[in-house]
Structure 1
Amino acid sequence: MVGTMLPRSVLLGRVGVAVVVTLTTVCMSAEILPEVMYNVAVPHDVAPAHIVYKIKLKDGQIVDKLMDSEYSDYFAVLDTGDVMTVSKVVPLLGRIVTLRVSTNYADGNIQVYAIRVAIKDHQTMLRFLKPEYDAEVYENLPAGTELQGVDDLEAMGEEDIKYELLGGHSVFALHHVGGVPTVVTRKALDREAQDLYKLVLRAYDKEGMDMAEAKINVHILDMNDHAPVFTQNVFYFFVPLNVTRFDKLGRVTAHDGDGDKVVYRLAYPSNTFTIVPQTGEIMLIEAPDTMVYELELEAFDKRKPTLYSDNLAKAHIEFRYPSDSLFTGESNDIDYDVYPEHAMSKRSAKKRVKRGQLRHTKELVFSEADGAVEGKVVFQLEKEIQWETFKIRDDNPWVEVDTNGAVRIKKKWDYEELGPEKTIDFWVTITNNDRNGKYCYHLLC
């Protein structure tokens, strides 16, 4: 029986008995390209129709034939490039046979593939105990840290085995002392940047004929290396004066880079407010005795070791009058009751402030598109007298205020970065010859 190229339809019907004669016309200008060599190992007890090797054909390239040799009767090649057995190869046990497959290109060039096939006892074939391994290593550990959970990476079947690590070369390195492979880190890893790496460990025999592969999934374990960070430096809450004890006035938020649960607390105790540790909600526990409060807040995570926020945040709480009419009027020397008595104790209800010390809070509604041009004036603060000057009290990333009261866009407004309230809050100090006052603007986007 001669070496054949068997169409797939013939193989499905009668493997090993059909003979196909192919007539090939080669152009006189055809070029014989350099031979391409491949190595492969095959168990001695494989059944006929076992795929030995698959040649990856290029566009316009077709299989011509399996060239005759001493061992070609045991094999055939399909037009798809699959080289396969057509009979049992037990008689070839222990031998390395070379098969040559001729292919043609559309331009008439000829390409020959030489496939060296080692017929080996299946018990000596290279193999890993598992096709896939799960390893783990903690983040932030120094370079050279060995992966854990993969003590059985050694391939079986041969004594002299070479190993190669595929993937993750800039992150992991392969060591094999005494023939046993281990995988170590090349640098400290960051779980928050990447928590899983997929590697492949390849094993070769000393002749370079047999090869086995195992997948390694490296899981990066978390260490508590990120302290909570408040989502804002200052949280503004504008509260009506008719709130009652244990009402929730608002909520502060912090993010933990490790994904840990965040706990909140007041940096300094307060007789008027408390904060719910699990949620960050600020609650009123006693009637207020002034219009404006500023609380300092701290956040920490529920991990060991516990990490605390590097910077304290502030909660600015401003109580509003039930009606804006209390803020109107021309006189600067008339006293007004600051709080209605039903919301305050009798003692605090008698507290009074000078008219003109605080102007009412304004709320202005804009779209994100209104804040698209940096330096644009979005609105003008009103003067009560001509020599008033304006100054923004705290630095604000989104707006700035000119001394003439023009409010300009400092940074292009981004709806997604404005936080859960979607507001831009800022205080303006107004200065003139008669008095100083504060004006709060609450921009809704």
Structure 2
Amino acid sequence: MATREYTAFTAILRYFTVLCFCGNVLPQIRYSIAEESARGSVVGYIAKDLGLDVNKLKERRFRIVSGSKDGFLQINQDNGALFVSGNIDREELCEKSLLCAVNLKTVAENPSEIHYIEVEIVDINDNSPAFPVREKHLEIPENAVPQSTRLPLDAARDSDAGLNALHKYTLSPNNYFELDIKTREEDKIPFLILKKQLDREQTPTFNLTLTAFDGGKPERSGSVNITITVVDINDNAPLFDRQVYSVALEENVEIGSLVVKLHATDLDEGANGQVVYGFDKSLMRKEFEIFEINSNTGDIIVKGSIDFEEQRVYELDIQASDKGQVPLTGHCSIIISIKDLNDNTPEIDVTSLSTDIVEDSKPGTIISLISASDRDSGENGMVICSLTDDIPFELKPSFQKSMYSLITKDLLDRETISLYTITIMCKDRGEPSLSSQKTIQINIADVNDNSPVFTQNPFYFYISENNTPGTSIFSINAFDIDQNENAQISYHILKAEGHEANMVSYLNINLVDGNAYVYALKGFDFETTKMFQFHIVASDSGTPSLSNNVTVNVFIL
């Protein structure tokens, strides 16, 4: 196994696929590997763990058919190892998710097998906590109340996850301020708490350092310098009607729609009591792209498209500031729950095992593996698939939800239909229901199941005596409705007995332009022979060969 800062490959857990009523496909094998692992690093010996014969991997076309969209994982078909083929950046793949995994689907043929693999991307401590700015300037009135005065600070961001993410803050030693940390999901937002009454005339400014540490080993850190100016004005901060607003909003709501109307009051008068609203600067950029706030009215408005499948809950931190010389700020949170609509059509994935199927295939022969998914939730995401036409094929449901096998239902006959265009229709259970379809073509391959057929049986020919030896006296023709070599016909004359044997010995047959021409090697004598009979056999070139014969009656004139 390859290593970077620590061992890249940790533990391999092997699971068997089990029946799951939640609709998700459980992986048969789970691996893990550290991000930034060197190219060529082995994730695990996937063929061995699946019990596959390593010597037959190329013959069975063992491969990855979905997952690893950026192509950073590949299978070595010489030894069956799953290895790193590109750069793995966990932060780019999964941002700050605690669990970062890549789901792979592999297929082997002859016989057909499909397996599901999960590869966990393990975070390494390759990012330090960072603040939005290097310098932070704050102002605070000298009559601010100790323990009740909270000054919001910009939160540090760390792109790593888990223990390597932001862990704690420290504040440089001082007698007037202490830290309070608000935890929201994975974010830790620092606030300065005033713990002692200020005196601007005694200490007009404070210079503090806020340092953020992650939990890695060794730990990494980042800091911001905070300058606090003490003034003696405006001693009331705006106060919201509620600290937390909860709102439900449908996805795909029109741009410009009102989300919620906020209201905050300030007990001061004049400019010190005039309130303006804004988003807290600690919000992610995405929230700024989707919502906007009217600074004068406090109305939260939809600014961009809202998609339930991208994010189901938004939490916005709002601040209300007065217009005093040194503005004071109040805070509230808005929790916006997004309602799912049936706005996604089912997605159909077809894994074809073969584009040709022989016409003598038994009913139940598997042609393709079909899986369907829908990004919606609940009934909107439940998918049922069917075939649109009455054809000798059917979809057989798998024990895994929304997975099917396309199999033959009846016996096939290439001579009747040689090509089938199969349309697979998948519908969800939403109201109204959405659907999508996928079309595949199946060629019916020929088998040698038809014998040659002569254009008539028997044949009657009339020949004048004293014919010229070596010339053609008549021709016959047979046809075969099979294809290729199964339809290539050769001819020969059967041996006869008695008087006919003597006559047949002077006959020869040759194939010219698809017709069989019979030649006489001597002239006939009416006074000796007035009529004779023999048989010609037509055989195709199939394996095994099929044949038919015809009776030929020759009359000498």
TM bin (shorter chain): 0.3 to 0.5
TM-score (norm 1): 0.41
When Rg is computed on C-alpha atoms for both structures, the one with the higher figure is 2
Higher relative contact order (CA closer than 8 Å, sequence separation 6+): 1
TM-score (norm 2): 0.33
